[in-house]
Structure 1
Amino acid sequence: MSFENIVVVVTGAAQGIGYGVAKAFAEQGALLVMGDMNEEQGAAAAAAIRNEGGQAVFIPCDVRKEDEIKNLMKTAEDEYGKIDVLINNAGISRWKSPYELSVDEWDDILNTNVRSCFLATREAARYMKKHAGSGAVINMASTRALMSEPDTEAYAASKGAIVALTHAMAISLGVDGIRVNCISPGWIETQHYETLGKADHEQHPAGRVGKPDDIARACLYLADPDNTFVTGTHLVVDGGMTRKMIYEP
């Protein structure tokens, strides 16, 4: 696969999975537009990619705000003349009892995680349709869409909604040659991998905890312009954990 001169927009790109994904695309020759609400970290992340020989620009973007999403896509168009790939990665979580979770907190999580996917996809698709009549959108869901721990209602609902939104938009945008897929990461350790214990790794059928590179490779596959028959797909990347039956002793 080659991503030379492919324009890729990544939200939530300042750190963690978002940065790992952006870096992987840059290493394959893509032109990166990185959005994040943390301006200091976002600018530093783009600079780090450029220092490694990649091409990246950073645009401040709070995905809860429609105008800022529109500005992110317009800036990508102005900077590189097109948008080929959109990675909807930005998201937040809040673990709180359903008895205590406020309406404002619920709305903030759903607006950040789900509404942003719809708005960003809609705005990016306008440019994809205008220029090439093709494109790829990848939404970042979570295995929390399929399984839960206590006090995760808003986050789980948002990730389940992303899975449904993905197949809905794949159908709506397919006529314009735009593919829409999603990835559900499992445990992806983004900061302190070396501190993980043997039990952490061995609970995964794959034998280890995941890394951002695992998600980046999945994104590269789904964004590959040769994979025109892959759309509406929900790809679980979790080392097999959602397939493992666990019983209390």
Structure 2
Amino acid sequence: MNSLKDKVAVIFAASGEIAGAVARAFAQHGAKVYVTARDLEAAIALADEMVFDGGKAEAGKVDALNEAEIDAFLQQVVADNGRLDMVFNGIGSYYKDAGSGTPTTVATFGQFMNPLQRICGSQFLTSRVAAKYMIASGSAGTLLLLNASMARTKTPNMAGFAAACAAIEGLTRVMAAEFGKHGIKAICICSGALMETRKIQEMITDFSALGGIPREEMALNYTRFDLLSSGPTLKQLGETAAFLVSENGVVFNSHIVDFDCGKINIL
């Protein structure tokens, strides 16, 4: 459990369930983890939990859409540690703001652009600033991005979100090609629906009400294409992230790593 010993990690949007799972896994594998969020109290609570469990963690207040805040925080991390080994950004978007579930002919331009600016834009900001400090400090680090399988499914009424997810995949490949000469990897975890998360459960409830469909039937839409009887969990996602940023994960670079236990409908 020491595959990340002496490594320095920064987690953005750490108040979310996915980012929290990644932060916990990094700490459990020996990394010193800085957890950041706009909600400082949430970041502090997560850091305290990780320290209580024997990990090394510190909290900070950072808006993952504010480049100045991102830059200042990462600059201080490198100043304090002399290195930056991995960053992960778990930012999400409220599905109604993103127009998810709304027909493309009805969704507004603002709804379409929301996930592109918020999700893809934030991944761009945190990754490029992190790369700058990795290059300056000589850290052969990993930029670990996150998107959803909507990038490669044929799902109606999800124009903005699907476009943002596909954009993050393209961004990952560009950064891998650009920063590889500095020993920096760029990888994207492409997650399927994590049924234990609040966001998925809330979407199932809302979409079933909007469509006049029983909740149980709506929930099946999230699992009907699974190849296995069990789906992925938050803990498994954290462990996958820890592997990808470890020395053994070096074979993954520019890759989009499907995290879904296998689905028939993923291209």
TM-score by length of 2: 0.82
Report 1:171-186 matches (<5 A). 171-186=177-192
SS at match of 1:182: strand
How far apart are residue 149 of structure 1 and its match? 3.0
- Is 2:7 aligned against 1:2? no
Q: Which amino acid aligns with 1:125?
A: A
Bigger shift: residues 102-111 or 123-132: 102-111
2:194 maps to 188
Q: Are 1:239 and 2:245 matched, yes or no?
A: no
- Corresponding residue for residue 86 of structure 2: 85
Instruction: Between 168-177 and 104-113, report the one with greater CA deviation.
Output: 104-113
Match in the other structure for 1:205 = 227
Note the 1:30-179 alignment, pairs <5 A. Answer: 30-92=31-93, 93=95, 94=98, 95=100, 96-179=102-185
Structure 1 residues 95-122: Cα deviation after superposition (integer angstroms, max 9, x where no partner): 2343443333433322221122122111
Structure 1 counterpart SS, 2:193: coil
> Take 2:61 and 2:109, find their aligned partners in 1: how far apart are those partners?
27
8 Å CA contact 2:227–2:264 kept in 1: the answer is no
**Cα deviation 1:128-173 (Å, max 9, x = unaligned):** 1122341111110110100143321111111100000001110000
Q: 1:17-74, CA deviations, whole angstroms, 9 ceiling, x for partnerless residues?
A: 1100100110111000112222222221111111111111122222222112212312
Deviation (angstroms), 1:84: 0.3
Report SS of the residue matched to 1:87: strand
Give the whole-Å Cα distance in 1 for the aligned partners of 2:258 and 2:246: 18
- In 2, Cα distance between equivalents of 1:41 and 1:184: 25
Structure 1 residue 229: deviation in Å?
3.4
**For 1:111, what is the secondary structure of its paired residue?**
helix
In structure 2, the partner of 1:221 is: 243
TM-score, normalized by length of structure 1? 0.87
In structure 2, stretches of 5+ residues that fail to align are 201-214
Query: What residue number does 1:20 align with?
Result: 21
In the aligned structure 2, how far is the partner of 1:37 from the partner of 1:125?
22
Contact 1:188 1:211 in 2 (8 A): yes
User: Which secondary structure does the structure 2 equivalent of 1:163 belong to?
Assistant: helix
SS of the residue 1:73 aligns to: helix
Letter in 2 for 1:51: F
Identical counterparts, % of pairs: 23
In the aligned structure 2, how far is the partner of 1:171 from the partner of 1:4? Answer: 27
Structure 1: tracts of 5 or more residues without a match = none
CA contact (8 A) 2:87 2:130 kept: yes
Matching residue's letter, 1:37: R
Classify 1:50/1:157 alpha carbon distance in 2 versus 1 (closer, same or farther; 3 Å): same
Cα distance change of structure 1 residues 227 and 191 upon mapping to structure 2, 3 Å threshold? closer
Specify whether residues 68 and 99 from structure 1 end up closer, same or farther in structure 2 by C-alpha distance, changes over 3 A only. farther
- State the distance in 2 between where 1:3 and 1:104 align: 41
Contact 1:15-1:45 at 8 Å conserved across structures: no
Aligned AA (1:217): E
Offset, 1:90? 1.4
SS of alignment partner, residue 82 of structure 1: coil
Q: Is the 8 A contact 1:42 1:60 kept in 2?
A: yes
Cα 1:35–1:244 change in 2 (3 A) is closer
* Offset of residue 207 of structure 1: 1.2
Aligned to 1:11: 12
Match of 2:210 in 1: none
